[in-house]
Amino acid sequence: WSNAAAQLMLPIPTSCKEIDCDAVLKFSVFGASSQRPVSVVFEIKEKGWEWTEKIIVSSSDVVEARVPLRGVTGSRLLSISIPDATSPQLLNGSSDSRILGIAIQRIDLIRR
């Protein structure tokens, strides 16, 4: 589990400089439900290029976000923020006081 904010360094294959590629993150959000929708903000800020996507999750199901990797090589730093991240303690009275955000289940590389 992440906490309320995390960073993920995504390696980029050299072939993505010539071919459009996306990293597909499959993740679940702690405490998300129809009664408690949770926003997840993905952001990349690089010199000369920025990208942001906000996803509102309203279930404990695995959801996905596509992160563009095209046009560059090396790596891309992805910032992830969950403004309404909470702890099991605050959510349901558990003794676990850690603030939990998202749990990444898998990351796939898609070439288009």
Residues found in the chain? 112
Helix/strand/coil percent split, the chain, to 5: 10, 55, 40
Q: What is the pLDDT of residue 73?
A: 77
Q: What is the pLDDT of residue 68?
A: 92
Tell me which residue of 67, 85, 93 sits closest to 28, measured CA to CA: 85
Q: What is the pLDDT of residue 72?
A: 74
How does residue 108 score in pLDDT terms, banded at 50, 70 and 90?
very high
Q: Alpha helices of the chain — where are they, by DSSP H?
A: 88-92
Convert the pLDDT of each residue in 36-93 to its tens digit. Answer: 999 999 999 988 889 999 999 999 999 999 999 877 778 999 999 999 999 999 999 9
Calpha distance 11→23 (Å, rounded)? 9
